């Protein structure tokens, strides 16, 4: 578990760096460069699609060259180059390039990092391993958001919102990014097996893939099609009466809850099986989205954000453990990357659909749509997938 701990610290420091900046990018674009909300959406859409498309290819390269540590390091280095690009940007085009650099790094590092986690897990502890990593990952996100909240709150109290020093924040956010890269000194990769004479692209052997894996990828796509960007959750919180600074605090609460519960839920999945936790996770998501659709009042909105954090803890690490177990060993990186790519590809139309429904029918429609798709995904998972505890 020592190796997993240091992999978790890499994500911890990197996510501090990322989340210190992420909530402020829309403010920076609109306040400093006069970008419209639609343009902000274009910037994020292009950046996220870049990451999604790269994940499966990064996984394939990880399997082919057996250099997961090196590939993961190059991806995490993107977080540092992202901050440098932000400092050099002088227009919304510069911010777009910076966001693409950041998401390119995310797309490169995800699959090889998950391979390192899975290979470092002891027998029967795959869920615990991914849960520990996710807990540190989300703790970093929460801390980064909290730092930003304190900075914004202090700025709000001084009444200097227009003079907020974004560039200073970009500089100090580079420090945890560097610390994350330093943690790679302590990460060990298992010796690579002898290289095969020739490795065919995975799509040529798709028929050999486990039926559970193929079905689960379809379930992931269906579920994610209703799981729109978290931006809509923050917009909904504003509708409920929270100001912009308080909304960031709600986002912190979500991340803190997910971080606290990820490892316990991961260990639980080792004992009862992945499916027995994935199904309740999808049901919890549906409950959250119905809550976002119909909730009235701030107190109830706080409760829903906590439940949303619990849903994330039930799903995020457990689904990676599930894929890592049922994927062929020679295609583990590819399948982990493909799972992330499938989810990322679905996220693009999901956000478009949610935005269209939000504008045409109001805030209730997109959340009801997402809740219904989540219920459908849970039903398919219950009816058609086996519930084995461990598959390698």
Query: What DSSP string runs through 73-122?
Result: HHHHHHHHHHHHHHHH--SHHHHHHHHHHHHHHHHHHHHHHHHHHHHHSP
Could you tell me the domains of the chain? 2-189+208-384 (1.20.1250.20)
Q: Residues with Cβ < 8 Å from 26, sequence gap 6 or more?
A: 37, 40
The closest of 23, 120, 103 to 68, measured between CA atoms, is 120
Predicted confidence at residue 79, as pLDDT, reads 92
Global pTM?
0.78
Query: What DSSP string runs through 254-315?
Result: HHHHHHHHHHHHHHHHHHH-SHHHHHHHHHHHHHHHHHHHH--SHHHHHHHHHHHHHHHHHH
Predicted confidence at residue 80, as pLDDT, reads 93
Residues 392 and 327 sit within 8 Å (Cβ to Cβ): no
pLDDT by residue for the chain (392 residues), tens only, comes to 789 999 999 999 999 999 898 877 877 887 788 876 667 667 776 777 777 777 778 887 888 888 899 999 999 999 999 999 999 988 889 988 998 899 889 889 988 998 899 888 887 888 889 899 989 999 999 999 899 888 877 777 676 545 667 888 899 999 999 999 999 999 988 776 555 545 555 555 555 566 777 788 889 899 988 887 777 787 788 888 887 778 888 889 999 999 899 989 989 989 988 888 999 999 999 999 999 999 888 899 999 999 999 999 998 888 888 888 877 777 777 788 788 778 777 877 777 787 778 778 888 888 999 999 999 999 988 887 654 444 43
Predicted confidence at residue 207, as pLDDT, reads 55
**CA–CA separation, 27 vs 21, rounded Å?**
10
Measured at the alpha carbon of residue 242, what is the angle toward residues 27 and 254, in degrees to the nearest 5?
Answer: 85
DSSP state of 230: T
Predicted confidence at residue 206, as pLDDT, reads 53
The closest of 136, 130, 96 to 322, measured between CA atoms, is 130
Predicted confidence at residue 391, as pLDDT, reads 43
């Amino acid at each position: 578990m020592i190796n997993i701990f240091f992999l978790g610290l890499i994500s911890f420091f990197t996510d501090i760096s990322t989340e210190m900046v992420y909530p402020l990018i829309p403010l920076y674009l609109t306040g400093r460069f006069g970008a419209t909300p639609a343009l902000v959406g274009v910037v994020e859409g292009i950046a996220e699609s870049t990451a999604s498309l790269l994940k499966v290819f990064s996984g394939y390269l990880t399997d082919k060259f057996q250099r997961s540590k090196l590939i993961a390091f190059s991806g995490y280095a993107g977080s540092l180059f992202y901050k440098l690009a932000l400092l050099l940007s002088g227009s919304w085009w510069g911010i777009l390039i910076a966001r693409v650099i950041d998401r390119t790094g995310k797309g490169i590092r995800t699959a090889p990092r998950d391979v390192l986690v899975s290979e470092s897990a002891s027998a029967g502890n795959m869920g615990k391993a991914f849960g520990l990593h996710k807990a540190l990952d989300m703790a970093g996100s929460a801390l980064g958001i909290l730092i930003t909240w304190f900075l914004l709150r202090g700025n709000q109290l001084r009444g200097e919102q227009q003079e907020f020093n974004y560039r200073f924040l970009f500089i100090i956010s580079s420090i945890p990014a560097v610390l994350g890269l330093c943690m790679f000194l302590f990460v060990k990769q298992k010796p690579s097996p002898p290289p095969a004479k020739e490795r065919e692209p995975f799509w040529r052997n798709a028929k050999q893939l486990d039926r559970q894996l193929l079905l689960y990828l379809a379930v992931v796509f269906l579920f994610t099609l209703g799981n729109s960007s978290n931006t809509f959750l923050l917009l909904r919180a504003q509708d409920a009466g929270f100001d912009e600074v308080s909304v960031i605090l709600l986002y912190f609460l979500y991340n803190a809850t997910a971080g606290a519960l990820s490892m316990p839920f991961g260990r639980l999945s080792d004992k009862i099986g992945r499916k027995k936790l994935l199904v309740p996770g999808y049901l919890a998501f549906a409950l959250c989205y119905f809550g976002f659709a119909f909730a009235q009042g701030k107190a109830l909105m706080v409760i829903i954000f906590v439940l949303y954090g619990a849903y994330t803890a039930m799903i995020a690490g457990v689904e990676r453990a599930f894929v890592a177990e049922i994927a062929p060993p020679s295609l583990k990186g590819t399948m982990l990357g493909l799972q992330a790519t499938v989810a990322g590809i679905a996220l693009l139309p999901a956000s478009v659909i949610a935005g269209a429904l939000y504008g045409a029918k109001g805030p209730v429609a997109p959340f009801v749509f997402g809740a219904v798709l989540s219920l459908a995904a849970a039903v398919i998972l219950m009816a058609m997938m086996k519930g084995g505890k461990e598959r390698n």
